[in-house]
Amino acid sequence: MKKNLFILSVVFFLFISCQKDNKISQNAVRMQNFVQNIALYSHKFNPNFIIIPQNGVELSFVNTNIEEGIAPYINNIDGIGVEELFYNGNVAKEDERLYMLQKLKTTLKIMVSDFVLDNANIQDAVLKSKNEGFISFPRSAENYDYRLIPTNITDENNFNIQKLADAKNYLYLINSDNFSDKQTMITSIAATNYDIIIIDLFFDKTAFTADEIQNLKLKANGGSRLVIAYISIGSAENYRYYWQKGWKIGNPSWIKKKYEGYDDEFWVEFWNQEWQNIIFGNDNSYLKKIIDANFDGVYLDNVEAYYFLEKNY
pLDDT band for 24, please (50, 70, 90 cuts): low
Find the range with the poorest average confidence among 168-182, 204-218, 251-265, 299-313.
Answer: 299-313
Can you tell me the distance from the alpha carbon of 92 to that of 86, in angstroms, rounded to the nearest whole number?
Answer: 5
pLDDT tens-digit readout, 60-119: 999 999 999 999 999 999 999 999 999 998 777 668 899 999 999 999 999 999 999 999
Q: What is the pLDDT of residue 90?
A: 79
pLDDT tens-digit readout, 199-257: 999 999 999 999 999 999 999 999 999 999 999 999 999 999 999 999 999 999 999 99
Can you tell me the distance from the alpha carbon of 233 to that of 203, in angstroms, rounded to the nearest whole number?
Answer: 19
Does residue 20 surpass a pLDDT of 50? Answer: no
Does residue 143 surpass a pLDDT of 80? Answer: yes
Q: What is the pLDDT of residue 288?
A: 98
Does residue 21 surpass a pLDDT of 90? Answer: no
Return the percentage of the chain with pLDDT > 90, whole number: 87
Q: What is the pLDDT of residue 297?
A: 98
Q: What is the pLDDT of residue 17?
A: 47
Whether the model clears a pTM of 0.85, i.e. scores above it, the answer is: yes
Q: What is the pLDDT of residue 172?
A: 98
